[in-house]
Amino acid sequence: MEAAAIIKKIRAMSGITRKELAQLADVSPSTISRIERGEMDPTWGTMQKIFSATGYQLNGTSVVSSGDTSAIQAANIYLEPLLRKALAPMAETVRAAAASSGNVLTEAARTAIGSAAGKASTAAAAAVAEVAREPMRAATAPAVQELLSNVKIPTGEWADRWKRTGWLKDSAGVDDLVAIAVTAGNAGKVARRRGARVPVEIPKGWRDLVDRLEGAGVDYAVSGIVATWEDRSDAQAGAPLIYVSDPRGVAEQLGLARARAGAGSPAPGGHER
């Protein structure tokens, strides 16, 4: 894959400008422009800086996420307190729905979560950014802006990159917060992370599986596009990832049948912690 095509691919997937890519990688904007136009053959060191700064890597002839969870950890330090404040009303709705039936995973609670998260698509960075903008808009409300001035600013390589682009600052706007979230998410995509995954058969659907986990007292977390859809159904393609501390042990505990290669659901493996 030629360097020009790699740069264009990275920018398209990240939704960033040439200038922002240059700032992330700490190279001159003219370097990025010349590479993209095919006027410059970059050194391997330059390409490595670009890959590291954006959280991508080459996999054969494809550009893929590097599975770098340090980007997510850095973003979480900064964004979590803001989103907790912004999404507090939704959390109250979820708690009320759960308390009404004694079941944390009631349909009402699921719907509340789905409504807040909205429908997402990972087909393009623009779609991901649009999904993230709604809670982020709430995070720029006056009360949260006050929190922003006191929130802990992360340190490390990713923080330095975001500072160079101007995304990480005391007066960050919604687009800055979204850019950090999208960049971190792209760098640390679940499918590229290290960890144990156990694909299993789920004949009654993934929601039945999480109910079984709940009944067995297993701590878990669910992630994935399907889990955010308000009008989702088990008939829709795909299933979320279900994170547990011991994927293999839980599969044995619940007597879950392993899915055949190329079949079944990507849930409920998750990653060992």
* Residue with token string 């600013």: 153
Q: What is the pLDDT of residue 224?
A: 64
- Interatomic CA distance for residues 269 and 273, integer angstroms: 12
Query: What is the DSSP secondary-structure string of 142-187?
Result: HHHHHHHTTSPPP-SHHHHHHHHHT-SSTT--HHHHHHHHHHHHHH
CATH 1.10.260.40 fits domain 3-65 = yes
Q: What is the pLDDT of residue 42?
A: 93
Tell me which of 273 and 133 has the higher pLDDT: 133
Q: What is the pLDDT of residue 130?
A: 52
**Backbone torsions φ then ψ of 3, nearest 5 degrees:** -60, -40
Instruction: Say if residue 269's pLDDT is above 50.
Output: no
Q: What is the pLDDT of residue 163?
A: 94
The average confidence (pLDDT) of the chain is 74
- Give me the amino acid identity at 85: K
Q: What is the pLDDT of residue 228?
A: 53
Average pLDDT for 83-105: 55
Tell me which of 28 and 234 has the higher pLDDT: 28
pTM, rounded to two decimals: 0.61
pLDDT digits (tens, 9 = 90+) for 135-175: 555 555 555 556 566 666 777 899 999 999 999 887 777 78
Indicate the domain borders of the chain.
3-65, 69-192, 195-273
User: Quick check: 21 and 50 in contact, CB under 8 A?
Assistant: yes
Instruction: Say if residue 272's pLDDT is above 60.
Output: no
pLDDT digits (tens, 9 = 90+) for 71-87: 988 988 888 877 776 66
DSSP state of 265: B
